[in-house]
Chain A
Amino acid sequence: ETGVTQSPTHLIKTRGQQVTLRCSSQSGHNTVSWYQQALGQGPQFIFQYYREEENGRGNFPPRFSGLQFPNYSSELNVNALELDDSALYLCASSSGSSEKETQYFGPGTRLLVL
């Protein structure tokens, strides 16, 4: 196990609602990245937080937002949910934001939007 935890494990929402997903990083890690994995696809990078600041963002609309806390845990917030937001959301932690750092993933949160 990586020591990265995510909550909740599963979630069902309806279109237009808002959702918050949580991630606790591995001890000693100060960087958290979030990915969206649609069914049958590879994960897609949403954004990364390094020492509480956003440090890069993928091709996702502003209704996807995040936070990182002083203990380096993180939240992913999605507003105005759409059906296509149904996916596995993975967070990954690493000990820095440099290119040499390996990312370790949590078990994911499965979100279903009806």
Chain B
Amino acid sequence: AQKITQTQPGMFVQEKEAVTLDCTYDTSDQSYGLFWYKQPSSGEMIFLIYQGSYDEQNATEGRYSLNFQKARKSANLVISASQLGDSAMYFCAMREDFYGNNRLAFGKGNQVVVIP
């Protein structure tokens, strides 16, 4: 069963505008972690932001913030003031306690293209 769902089609965003990327997840664990990674065309996965299931505040890292709605099992990424360098694939990932290690389950990604 798919644990991370990212269903948005590719998105075009105007430079300097904000964009929200949707992520829903499925788990029966009470303790888990949610991550967002950015993957430019070069292929490297770049860590952006982390949200723990017990964190009461939404995570923020610079221009990145996470809209965490635990009851709805969603963890949407908001990128503010988009820049041309934000053009990339964005992946939502979840780590569950069940496995006793920190393996990540990834979604299929969201493609973002920032236009000037």
Contact = CB atoms under 8 A, between A and B. Distances in A.
Contacts of B4: 42
Contacts of B99: 56
Contacts, number: 78
A100 B32 CA distance: 9
Interface stretch (B38-46, B65-73, B76-84): B38-46
B45 A99 contact: no
A108 B107 contact: no
Contacts of A2: 44, 47
A50 B99 CA distance: 14
Contacts of A43: 45, 91, 104, 106
A65 interface: no
Interface string A95-112: 011111111111110100
Nearest to B31: A99
Range for the number of chain B residues in contact with chain A:
20 to 34
Contact of A99 (B33, B47, B107, B108): B33
Contact of B102 (A41, A88, A97, A108): A97
Contacts of A90: 43, 45
Nearest to A104: B47
B25 interface: no
Contacts of A31: 102
Given A56-B99, A99-B33, A100-B33, A45 B43 contact: no
Interface in B93-116: 93, 95-97, 99-109
Interface of B: 4, 31-33, 35, 37, 42-47, 50, 52, 91, 93, 95-97, 99-109
Interface of A: 2, 31, 33, 35, 40-45, 48, 50, 55-56, 58, 88, 90, 92, 94, 96-108, 110
